């Protein structure tokens, strides 16, 4: 799913556009015990309560694609009878009215979700009549030709409010605050099937993680059955290792600066594209060649890429590029440069020592004081 498709589904989580038919919930305590459950038609909820759920659902489809929102594909073995895809399809097609299926789903979450405190499992079923589009791109709400039926799960921590004092209007006193258990914004979640090309894609699932570095591999593998992707941090670390090992002793400042500049240029050129920029092995290879890596060093690229990342791995450009920073470090000095002006810095040998040279224009400050 791309950003535009995610936003289209997020827009359904309002009173005016609500397509949710049913909601189920299970409150789980820190000992992994089910304490209470909810099963009802969503439209039967009180208005204020529904608003709070809408906020949770919008959070489950928030963040950056490739970091917080990750597109995952089912491996072929999970699309066979008995696979996780079949189970999720049964759950969707039941419209959340099969109690045994719902209990089985809760049990799978409880068994595989690593969380030491209390949390609330929320599961919804929705049916979205996808509006047709005219030739000028305008939506035609009376011309729906596609129905997107889906389920979405949100895993929300439940925590005690902070202790403190409060004003009691009835007694006109400052008193000890009563602490309540509050359902907070989701930490994990997923949407199934994915919404691709404005239609259902049962081969894919959209996964949400509030913390990009904590993807919960057990949850992905055992509940969703999807291939566990590299985290944003792992993608950056792997890319840096590929560059470093490919260049070897030729890993100098100029080449690294060229890679930085070329990568940011690629991101800028793709800014208006609906899909986020991803770099597969051939794309990384062209990037290094364009940045000045010698043909001799490129001979080891294929081997290094496969050993570090795997033949079919891809990197999200936003995860491996430093768009906002260009930083140079020595053991005693750290220099931060406007990423668009990396050309102001170069390396030179002066009096037999390798030095960093920074071009200065009209303005120079030291500890906030302008110097001349």
Domain stop point among 323, 339, 356 = 323
278 and 185 in a single domain? The answer is no
Do 314 and 337 lie in one domain? The reply is no
Asked if the bond preceding 365 is cis, omega within 30° of 0, the reply is: no
Q: Which domain-ending residue is among 206, 224, 242?
A: 224
Quick one: pLDDT at residue 245?
93
Please tell me whether residues 91 and 58 are part of one structural domain. yes
121 and 56 inside one domain: yes
Going by C-alpha positions, the residue among 283, 296, 284, 280 that lies closest to residue 243 is: 284
Asked whether residue 272 falls in the same domain as residue 348, the answer is no
Same domain, 49 and 155: yes
Residues 317 and 349 in one domain: no
What span, in angstroms and rounded, lies between the C-alpha atoms of 189 and 61? 8
**289 and 212 within one domain:** no
Q: Sorting pLDDT into bands at 50, 70 and 90, what band is 87?
A: very high
DSSP 211: S
pLDDT digit string (tens) for 139-198?
665 656 799 999 999 999 999 888 888 888 989 999 888 888 999 999 999 999 999 999
Q: Which domain holds residue 342?
A: 324-372
Same domain for 193 and 66? yes
Pairwise CA distance, residues 90 & 84, whole Å = 10
Last residue of a domain, one of 171, 201, 224: 224
Which spans in the chain are helix H? 3-10, 47-60, 84-93, 99-112, 217-219, 232-247, 253-269, 281-290, 295-298, 301-308, 317-320
**Residues 220 and 237 placed together within one structural domain of the fold:** no
Local structure of 250: helix, strand or coil: helix
Tally of structural domains, the chain: 3
- What value does the mean pLDDT of the chain take? 90
**Which pLDDT score is estimated for 38?**
95
Nearest to 24 by CA among 98, 101, 124, 154: 124
* Pair 196, 97 in one domain: yes
DSSP 8-state symbol, 171: T
Q: Check residue 131 and report its DSSP letter.
A: P
Convert the pLDDT of each residue in 207-238 to its tens digit.
999 999 999 999 999 999 987 778 888 999 99
pLDDT tens string 254-279 = 898 899 989 988 988 888 887 888 89
Is the same domain home to 157 and 262? Answer: no
């Amino acid at each position: 799913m791309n950003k535009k498709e995610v936003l289209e589904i997020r827009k359904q989580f309002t009173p005016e556009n609500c397509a949710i038919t049913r909601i189920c919930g299970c409150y789980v305590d820190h000992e992994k015990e089910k304490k209470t459950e909810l099963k009802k038609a969503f439209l039967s909820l009180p208005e204020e309560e529904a608003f709070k759920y809408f906020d949770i659902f919008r959070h489950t489809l928030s963040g950056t694609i490739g970091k917080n929102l990750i597109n995952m594909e089912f491996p072929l073995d999970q699309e066979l009878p008995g696979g996780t895809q079949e189970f999720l399809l049964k759950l969707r097609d039941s419209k959340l009215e099969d109690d045994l299926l719902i209990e089985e789903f809760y049990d799978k979450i409880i068994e595989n979700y690593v969380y030491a405190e209390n949390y609330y499992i929320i599961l919804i079923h929705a049916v979205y009549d996808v509006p047709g589009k005219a030739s000028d791109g305008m939506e035609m709400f009376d011309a729906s030709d596609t129905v997107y039926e889906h389920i979405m799960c949100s895993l929300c921590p439940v925590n005690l409010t902070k202790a403190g004092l409060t004003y009691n209007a009835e007694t006109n006193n400052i008193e000890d605050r009563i602490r309540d258990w509050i359902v907070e914004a989701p930490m994990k979640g997923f949407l199934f099937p994915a919404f691709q090309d404005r239609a259902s894609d049962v081969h894919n699932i959209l996964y949400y993680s509030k913390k990009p570095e904590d993807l919960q591999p057990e949850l992905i593998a055992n509940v969703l059955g999807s291939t566990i992707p590299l985290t944003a941090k792992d993608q950056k670390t792997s890319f840096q290792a590929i560059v470093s090992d490919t260049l070897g002793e030729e890993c100098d400042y100029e080449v690294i600066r060229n890679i930085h500049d070329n990568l940011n240029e690629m991101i800028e050129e793709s800014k208006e594209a609906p899909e986020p920029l991803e770099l597969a092995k051939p794309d990384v290879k062209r990037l290094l060649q364009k940045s000045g890596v010698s043909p001799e060093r490129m001979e080891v690229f294929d081997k290094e890429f496969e050993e570090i990342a795997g033949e079919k791995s891809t990197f999200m450009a936003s995860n491996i590029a430093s768009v906002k920073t260009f930083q140079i470090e020595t053991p005693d000095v750290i220099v931060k440069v406007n990423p668009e002006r990396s050309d102001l810095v170069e390396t030179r040998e002066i009096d037999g020592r390798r030095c960093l040279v920074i071009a200065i224009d009209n303005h120079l400050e030291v500890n906030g004081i302008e110097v001349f």
